Amino acid sequence: MKGVKFGLFVDPDTTRFSGLRLRRLKEAIKDPKVQDALAEELEVAGAIGSNKMAAIERRIDELRTTKGSLWFEVAAPEVLAASIFRAKQLQGQVVDELFKRVARVQQLAGPLAMWLDLAGLTPHPGGAPGLGRANLIGYRGGTFVSGGKVVGVEVTNDVGELGRALDEPKGARDKLTASYVACTPALVAELLWARTAVAPRWAPDAVREKVQAGGLGLLLVEGEAVAQAILPQERKLDTGKLAAIVTALQSSKPGG
């Protein structure tokens, strides 16, 4: 393989592998420390100096063409990103920075509230009766009844919670105009790796397929930035449903 093939004319900021932006992946594999870790993770023998990346690429080719391998027929950039996330030598600061891992879910609230505000929606705490799992609500429209829009965001930093959110029946969120799941790229990679405990082959599209099957959107939080990785299916709510949402939100306020 003459270098990893990332695809022609792909956007390095919207294309992702295991949740990691292509631009960040390309930068990461230039780092000798990352190359050392990949060589260990992928069991590359005899790779030294400037030949190390070439040896890693040959090893990936071998894994991608071996039936029974976790990486059989998986795109090479996906193998790289997932292996970087898993590499023992990179656990901690390197992986946390690349995949934007956070310690607490509360660290995601500020960037997401700002994203809603920039989208013309007023952020509101979730948890209102009848509005499902959303722990952050964005709305616009004076009373929601005329031209109103209500967006639910299920914010999580737990791989188990993310899996449950993606498995929830499609109709569970039909009281909202649109619904998102929000997490870090690290959680996407973690869920893909968790899946390998019950599946014999890596499924790079497993998260995307679950998100789209549920009619959801996916927001990935990277520090202070929020990327809309997958657009949700939007629903038009009638005035009765919008009025009920207003009542629910008002009743959930302290003293409401």
Q: Give SS3 for 98.
A: helix
pLDDT digits (tens, 9 = 90+) for 61-95: 999 999 999 999 999 999 999 999 999 999 999 99
Burial grade of 10 (CB within 10 A; 0-12, 13-18, 19 or more): exposed
**Residue 247 pLDDT level (bands cut at 50, 70, 90):** low
**Residue 187 pLDDT level (bands cut at 50, 70, 90):** very high
Q: How far apart are CA 123 and CA 213, in angstroms?
A: 26
pLDDT mean over 112-129: 85
Alpha-carbon dihedral angle through residues 192, 138, 232, 106, given to the nearest 10 degrees: -10
Measure the N-to-C terminal CA separation of the chain; round to a whole number of Å: 64
Give the pLDDT score at 49.
63
pLDDT digits (tens, 9 = 90+) for 2-39: 456 676 668 889 999 999 999 999 999 999 999 999 99
- pLDDT of 1 strictly over 50: no
Q: Give SS3 for 60.
A: helix
Domain ranges of the chain: 16-99, 105-252
Q: Which two tokens stand for residue 74?
A: 């998986």
The pTM of this model reads: 0.89
Residue 14 is given by DSSP the state T
Residue 163 is given by DSSP the state H
Give the pLDDT score at 134.
84
